[in-house]
């Protein structure tokens, strides 16, 4: 462990650590670090959260990142944070919990500064998060939505909810809010992933919408209660929206909308990326229409076309239920055929895999999404290879 003068022995495994000790340690780390911190993710791949906290407290962890974390240590009160979330009627989920969505682990495979899975998730509401994630579809778009975008997002989300799917979004004004509202109208639970504490309703105009969301669905955040939704946190948050769902639909997005960032994370995660066409005369459709020009983005005009791609609820959901490294023989025939065609060493592009498998590229892309979600394949640069 570089920079640690006398660190814990690597043979001390995470699995040996008591779950609640781990939860407390992660709650503390959640307070003193920022989500998406790759330095922390690397430490966590080798040491337990408790070990890292112990080394921080004793000053044995001397990396540059650790210095920043240590500065926040005096202000961290993880017991108080855990008590606060329980008082709200919520919980702090950590990896290993039954409710932890294992699909979040896919985040270790993506590029850029977004590769770190959440340390834990602060959750407010009744439903089982992993269950909702299994039938999750992200519906996102611009805050400055037009009546057209709001209408389409509402109707799309309503239909998805009516068919048993869970709409995941970011609770922002515009498309996000319309998506949550449509899901509620459709009678389905919906998940709002916030960029601040679950008890810090943001935007303020959505106080009552957020209250309605957690009556039947969930409010989820990587930040502990009371955290402010700062600007830079939104982009980091978007990777969770993408990871919690089988696909992301961009309904109406301006050229530099944050929702395009969610679409990019979804693509990196091997999830389906969809966009709803809009008038080329509308600047607020420029981003979503630009997405439609990318070869792996599917044009969708309604819920049926979304479900054609991410559904049906039965089969694929079961594939994901078992989590990473589930036995190959439980895969559906298409996925098995594609998996056989994915190389083990050097990564291959979808077109090349399609030829090897004797399948259409569109089928291969769909299967790769399932295989990536199941931990069978990983994306390296522009290609895919088998996870060993």
Interaction between residue 295 and a second copy (CB under 8 A): yes
Interaction between residue 383 and a second copy (CB under 8 A): no
Interaction between residue 279 and a second copy (CB under 8 A): yes
d(CA 221, CA 215): 17
Interaction between residue 352 and a second copy (CB under 8 A): yes
Count of beta carbons in the 10 Å neighbourhood of residue 368: 22
Please select the residue that binds a second copy; options are 25, 286, 373, 377, rule is CB under 8 A.
286
**Which residues in the 10-39 window bind a second copy by CB under 8 A?**
none
Please select the residue that binds a second copy; options are 80, 299, 322, 380, rule is CB under 8 A.
299
**Listed ranges 90-98, 191-199, 242-250, 271-279: which one lies at the site for a second copy (CB under 8 A):** 271-279
Interaction between residue 281 and a second copy (CB under 8 A): yes
Smallest Cα–Cα separation from 197: which of 25, 24, 116, 80? 80
Interaction between residue 298 and a second copy (CB under 8 A): yes
**Listed ranges 72-80, 127-135, 346-354, 367-375: which one lies at the site for a second copy (CB under 8 A):** 346-354
What binding mask, one character per residue, do residues 139-168 give for a second copy by CB under 8 A, x or -? Answer: ---------x--xx----------------
> In the bound complex, what is the minimum distance in angstroms from residue 314's beta carbon to a second copy?
24
Interaction between residue 330 and a second copy (CB under 8 A): no
Smallest Cα–Cα separation from 174: which of 75, 254, 107, 264? 254
Interaction between residue 283 and a second copy (CB under 8 A): no
Question: What distance, in Å, lies between the first and last C-alpha atoms of the chain?
Answer: 24
Per-residue b or e along 271-305, where b marks 16 or more CB atoms closer than 10 Å to that residue's CB: bbbbbbebeeeeebbbbbbebbeeeebbebeebee
Q: What is the SS3 assignment for 108-165?
A: HHCCHHHCCCCCCEEEEECCCHHHHHHCEEEEECCCCCCHHHHHHHHHHHHHHHHCCC
Q: Does residue 127 have a cis bond before it (omega within 30 degrees)? A: no
- Which DSSP string do the residues of 328-387 spell out, in sequence order? GGGS-HHHHHHHHHS-SSS-B-HHHHHHHHTS-HHHHHHHHHHHHHTTSEEEETTEEEE-
Interaction between residue 289 and a second copy (CB under 8 A): yes
Please select the residue that binds a second copy; options are 64, 75, 204, 293, rule is CB under 8 A.
293
**Listed ranges 67-75, 118-126, 283-291, 372-380: which one lies at the site for a second copy (CB under 8 A):** 283-291
> In the bound complex, what is the minimum distance in angstroms from residue 332's beta carbon to a second copy?
22
Tell me if 284 sits within 8 A of 146, measured CB to CB.
Answer: yes
d(CA 141, CA 224): 26
Tell me if 248 sits within 8 A of 242, measured CB to CB.
Answer: yes
> In the bound complex, what is the minimum distance in angstroms from residue 44's beta carbon to a second copy?
37
> In the bound complex, what is the minimum distance in angstroms from residue 255's beta carbon to a second copy?
11
Please select the residue that binds a second copy; options are 160, 354, 372, 377, rule is CB under 8 A.
354
Residue 29 or 273: which CB sits closer to a second copy? 273
Number of residues that bind a second copy (CB under 8 A): 29
Tell me if 342 sits within 8 A of 355, measured CB to CB.
Answer: no
Residue 50 or 285: which CB sits closer to a second copy? 285
Instruction: Note the residues at the interface with a second copy (CB under 8 A).
Output: 148, 151-152, 276-281, 285-286, 289-290, 292-293, 295, 298-302, 305, 351-352, 354-355, 360-362
């Amino acid at each position: 462990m570089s920079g640690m003068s006398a660190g814990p022995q690597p043979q001390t495994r995470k699995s040996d650590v008591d779950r609640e000790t781990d939860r407390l340690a992660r709650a503390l780390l959640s307070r003193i670090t920022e989500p998406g911190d790759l330095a922390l993710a690397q430490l966590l791949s080798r040491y337990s959260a408790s070990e890292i906290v112990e080394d921080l407290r004793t000053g044995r962890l001397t990396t540059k990142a650790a210095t920043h974390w240590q500065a926040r240590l005096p202000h961290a009160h993880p017991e108080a944070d855990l008590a606060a979330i329980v008082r709200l009627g919520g919980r702090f989920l950590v990896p290993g919990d039954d409710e932890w969505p294992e699909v979040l682990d896919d985040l270790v495979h993506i590029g850029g500064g977004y590769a770190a899975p959440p340390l834990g998730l602060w959750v407010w509401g009744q439903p089982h998060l992993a269950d909702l994630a299994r039938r999750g579809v992200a519906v996102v778009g611009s805050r400055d939505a037009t009546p057209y975008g709001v209408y389409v997002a509402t109707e799309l989300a309503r239909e998805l909810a009516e068919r048993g799917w869970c709409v995941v979004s970011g609770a922002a004004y515009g498309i996000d809010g319309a998506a949550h509202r449509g899901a509620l109208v459709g009678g389905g639970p919906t998940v709002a992933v916030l960029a601040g504490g679950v008890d810090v309703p943001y935007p303020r105009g959505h106080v009552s919408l957020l209250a309605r969301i957690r009556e039947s669905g969930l409010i989820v955040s990587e930040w502990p209660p009371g955290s402010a939704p700062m600007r830079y946190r939104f982009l980091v948050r978007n990777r969770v929206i993408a990871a919690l769902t089988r696909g992301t639909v961009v309904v109406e997005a301006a050229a530099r909308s944050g929702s395009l960032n969610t679409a990019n994370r979804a693509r990196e995660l091997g999830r389906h990326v969809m966009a709803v066409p809009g008038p080329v005369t509308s600047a607020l459709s420029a981003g979503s229409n630009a997405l439609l020009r990318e070869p792996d983005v599917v044009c969708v005009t309604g819920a049926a076309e979304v479900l054609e791609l991410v559904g049906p609820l039965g089969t694929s959901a079961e594939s994901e239920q078992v989590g990473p490294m589930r036995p190959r023989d439980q895969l559906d025939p298409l996925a098995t055929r594609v998996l056989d065609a994915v190389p083990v060493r050097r990564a291959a592009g979808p077109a090349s895999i399609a030829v090897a498998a004797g399948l259409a590229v569109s089928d291969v892309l769909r299967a790769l999404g399932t295989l990536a979600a199941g931990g069978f394949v990983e994306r390296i640069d522009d290609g895919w290879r088998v996870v060993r």
